[in-house]
């Protein structure tokens, strides 16, 4: 079913919207949650919560890209769950490592939400538009989808050193970009 029709179902408050969303984007959302949580039960719960959150958000909002809208909900729910699960045991797992990578170029305050998220998002989007397609894909797979270095190398048939150096250079350029745009990083 086309996204516009699924969105219409949400707006009509037709419960088939959830069924159709799950059919079309269930695996996509599960992948996002799975990359963050590594627990099947937590992953399933976050994906199920995605449909409820979309149901509650849709009348006020009509997303342009349904996959991005649902993916963002899943990602945010999964990151919240991850933080709750690891709040007592700081420094555990791949996600903490990914946060640490980004904290070096963005700074802790932005990640913690002390800066207006929309302004930061717009700035990062401008940065991504300037990147080559290959570097942008690697960057987004790592920092949006939370793919491991190994997953990126396998998916795109790249060497580990190429992926790591691309990410390193991209983080450095992002840091410089944010400084130019007036962010205190």
Higher pLDDT, 184 or 40: 40
Going along the chain from its start, the domains and CATH numbers come out as: 3-86 (1.10.1740.10), 93-180 (1.10.10)
Q: Which residues contact 32 (CB under 8 A, 6 or more apart)?
A: 71, 74, 75, 78, 145, 146
Residue whose token pair is 């959302």: 29
Distance CA 185, CA 183 (A): 6
**Structure tokens given for 35:** 């990359």
Q: CB atoms < 10 A from the CB of 172, how many?
A: 12
Please report the pLDDT score of residue 103 as a whole number.
63
12 φ/ψ angles, rounded to the nearest 5 degrees: -85, 0
Task: Tell me the mean pLDDT in the region 87-93.
Answer: 58
User: Could you tell me the pLDDT band of residue 94, with boundaries at 50, 70 and 90?
Assistant: low
Q: CB atoms < 10 A from the CB of 47, how many?
A: 25
Please report the pLDDT score of residue 13 as a whole number.
93
Please report the pLDDT score of residue 111 as a whole number.
44
Does the structure show a pLDDT above 80 at 114? no
Give the distance from CA 68 to its chain's centroid: 9
Q: Over the stretch 16-60, which tens digit does the pLDDT of each residue have?
A: 999 999 999 999 999 999 988 888 999 999 999 999 999 998 877
Please report the pLDDT score of residue 115 as a whole number.
40
Task: Tell me the mean pLDDT in the region 93-106.
Answer: 64
Task: Tell me the mean pLDDT in the region 118-137.
Answer: 88
Q: Are 54 and 73 in contact (CB under 8 A)?
A: yes
What is the pTM (predicted TM-score) of this model? 0.67
61, HSE (Cβ side, Cα atoms, 13 Å): 12
């Amino acid at each position: 079913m086309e996204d516009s029709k699924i969105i219409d179902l949400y707006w009509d408050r037709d419960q088939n919207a959830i069924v159709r969303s799950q059919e079309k984007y269930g695996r996509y959302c599960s992948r996002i949650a799975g990359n963050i949580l590594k627990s099947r039960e937590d992953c399933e719960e976050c994906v199920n919560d995605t449909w409820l959150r979309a149901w509650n958000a849709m009348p006020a909002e009509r997303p342009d890209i349904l996959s991005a809208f649902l993916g963002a909900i899943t990602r945010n729910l999964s990151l919240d769950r991850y933080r709750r699960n690891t709040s007592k045991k700081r420094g555990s797992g791949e996600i903490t490592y990914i946060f640490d990578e980004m904290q070096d170029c963005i700074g802790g305050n932005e990640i913690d939400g002390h800066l207006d998220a929309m302004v930061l998002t717009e700035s990062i989007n401008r940065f991504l538009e300037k990147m080559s397609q290959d570097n942008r894909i690697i960057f987004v797979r790592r920092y949006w989808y939370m793919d491991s270095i190994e997953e990126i190398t396998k998916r795109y048939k790249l060497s580990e050193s190429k992926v790591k150096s691309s990410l390193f250079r991209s983080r450095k350029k992002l840091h410089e970009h944010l400084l130019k745009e007036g962010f205190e990083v």
